[in-house]
């Protein structure tokens, strides 16, 4: 297992020098954030990112992510050109030896929360989701009322996208994902890049939009779409763990036995009601994720890929990007490594 850390590029308030000081962390998870969605990533820009990370004594272990254009998810005629551009970006990754691509296939909205700074009893703040609060959000004004989405879509843009998705149910979205993977996975395999789809977060439909990568059956179906070692998943304990019906160790064993877990996001969640949760400190006793059981299952199936602490609380007065402060994620990285070492030692 390789412990990694998410870094948002030169504009990230966390310097790479601080990431370098987290014990055991040498891999960085990053992306190009200034390339418009749908355009091929210029190799020279990717080279500059890799060089910046290398100069700090680290290396780019994962690209998270190359966004999938909505026209691909919608199955529009423009998708072939957009998929060609996507393939060119994957080839640029492979040419630089960056081995893992984390991506998602969520319609319109990426991971979604209704509160970016929910006060915790210990004085920290955490990301939270409440289905009832989501239902009160008025999308007729665009995404301005949705936490974290202030400038994503105007009212007109969002209305047009929502209208387009009225004809895309879950089965049609699966068809569009298959079309995408049938063309991209062979390119990724030749480029020695492993594609790792991220489960939907939260793992259920929102705003009437289908979400399909939500559980063990969906992971199995995803792997069956294209029978290639390049076609795999990101095992995200927080996304999957938001649904109490998901048996995380069982999913890890099942998909890990297929050799298709290419990346692991480790985050704890506390379930506080039906489709209501907040994110919690990484150690198991603070939430509903049994990390010892999950990591033991990953270890038993031979997982050796990158892992990162996922969203953290904002603690010790830290400000900045909600969920992506330095301190709590650094604590998470050391906790996960200690747990992994204990499991490995017990298995020796």
Confidence at residue 191, expressed as pLDDT on a 0 to 100 scale: 98
Question: Which residue numbers in the chain have pLDDT < 70?
Answer: 150-151, 348
pLDDT for 15-44, tens place per residue? 999 999 999 999 999 999 999 999 999 999
Would you call 311 a catalytic residue per the annotation?
Answer: yes
Of 291, 302, 297, 300, residue with least CA distance to 337: 291
Residue 237 in contact with residue 332, Cβ under 8 Å? Answer: no
Task: Evaluate whether residue 6 is within a structural domain.
Answer: yes
Task: Evaluate whether residue 37 is within a structural domain.
Answer: yes
Task: Evaluate whether residue 78 is within a structural domain.
Answer: yes
pTM given for the model? 0.95
Task: Evaluate whether residue 290 is within a structural domain.
Answer: yes
Residue 53 in contact with residue 154, Cβ under 8 Å? Answer: no
Confidence at residue 142, expressed as pLDDT on a 0 to 100 scale: 80
Query: What residues make up the domain containing 203?
Result: 2-130+165-347
Would you call 69 a catalytic residue per the annotation?
Answer: no
Confidence at residue 175, expressed as pLDDT on a 0 to 100 scale: 98
Report the CATH number at residue 287: 3.20.20.150
Would you call 236 a catalytic residue per the annotation?
Answer: yes
User: What's the number of domains the chain is made of?
Assistant: 1
Task: Evaluate whether residue 237 is within a structural domain.
Answer: yes
Q: Choosing from 198, 278, 282, 299, which is the catalytic residue? A: 198
Q: Choosing from 236, 278, 282, 335, which is the catalytic residue? A: 236
Q: Choosing from 71, 201, 310, 328, which is the catalytic residue? A: 310
CA distances from 234 to 13, 242, 265, 281 (A): 26, 15, 7, 20
Confidence at residue 148, expressed as pLDDT on a 0 to 100 scale: 76
Q: Choosing from 86, 103, 324, 335, which is the catalytic residue? A: 324
With the CA atoms of 241, 24, 230 and 170 taken in that order, what torsion angle do they form, in degrees rounded to the nearest 10?
20
Would you call 278 a catalytic residue per the annotation?
Answer: no
Nearest-angstrom CA–CA distance, 293 and 4? 21
Confidence at residue 57, expressed as pLDDT on a 0 to 100 scale: 97
Task: Evaluate whether residue 44 is within a structural domain.
Answer: yes
Confidence at residue 345, expressed as pLDDT on a 0 to 100 scale: 87
Would you call 310 a catalytic residue per the annotation?
Answer: yes
Helix axes 170-190 and 216-225, enclosed angle (nearest 10): 50
Q: Choosing from 262, 265, 278, 299, which is the catalytic residue? A: 265
Would you call 288 a catalytic residue per the annotation?
Answer: no
Task: Evaluate whether residue 160 is within a structural domain.
Answer: no
Task: Evaluate whether residue 245 is within a structural domain.
Answer: yes
Q: Choosing from 69, 262, 278, 311, which is the catalytic residue? A: 311
């Amino acid at each position: 297992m390789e412990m990694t850390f998410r870094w948002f590029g030169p504009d990230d308030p966390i310097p790479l020098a601080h990431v370098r000081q987290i014990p055991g962390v040498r891999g960085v998870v990053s992306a190009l954030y200034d390339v418009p969605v749908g355009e091929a990533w210029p190799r020279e820009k990717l080279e500059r990112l890799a060089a910046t990370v290398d100069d700090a004594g680290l290396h780019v272990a994962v690209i998270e992510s190359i966004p999938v254009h909505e026209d691909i998810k919608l199955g529009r005629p423009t998708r072939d050109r957009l998929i060609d551009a996507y393939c060119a970006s994957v080839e640029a990754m492979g040419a630089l030896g960056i081995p893992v691509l984390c991506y998602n296939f969520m319609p319109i909205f990426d991971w979604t929360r209704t509160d970016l700074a929910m006060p915790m009893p210990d004085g920290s703040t955490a990301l939270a989701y409440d289905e009832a609060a989501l239902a009160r959000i008025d999308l007729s004004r665009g995404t301005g009322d949705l936490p974290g989405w202030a400038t994503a879509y105007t009212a007109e843009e969002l209305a047009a996208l929502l209208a387009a998705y009225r004809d895309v149910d879950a089965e049609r979205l699966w068809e569009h994902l298959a079309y995408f993977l049938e063309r991209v996975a062979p390119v990724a395999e030749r480029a020695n890049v492993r594609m790792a789809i991220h489960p939907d977060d939260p793992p259920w439909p929102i705003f009437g939009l289908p979400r399909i990568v939500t559980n063990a059956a969906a992971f199995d179906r995803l792997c069956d779409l294209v029978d290639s070692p390049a076609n795999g998943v990101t095992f995200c304990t927080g996304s999957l763990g938001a649904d109490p019906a998901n048996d995380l160790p069982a999913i890890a064993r099942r998909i890990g036995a297929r050799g298709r877990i290419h990346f692991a996001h480790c985050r704890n969640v506390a379930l506080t009601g039906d489709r209501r949760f907040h994110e919690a400190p990484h150690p198991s006793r603070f939430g509903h994720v049994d990390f010892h059981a999950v990591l033991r299952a990953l270890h038993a199936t031979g997982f050796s890929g990158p892992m990162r602490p996922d969203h953290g609380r904002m603690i010790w007065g830290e400000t900045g990007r909600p969920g992506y402060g330095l301190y709590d994620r650094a604590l998470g990285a050391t906790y996960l490594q200690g747990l992994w070492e204990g499991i490995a030692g017990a298995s020796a």
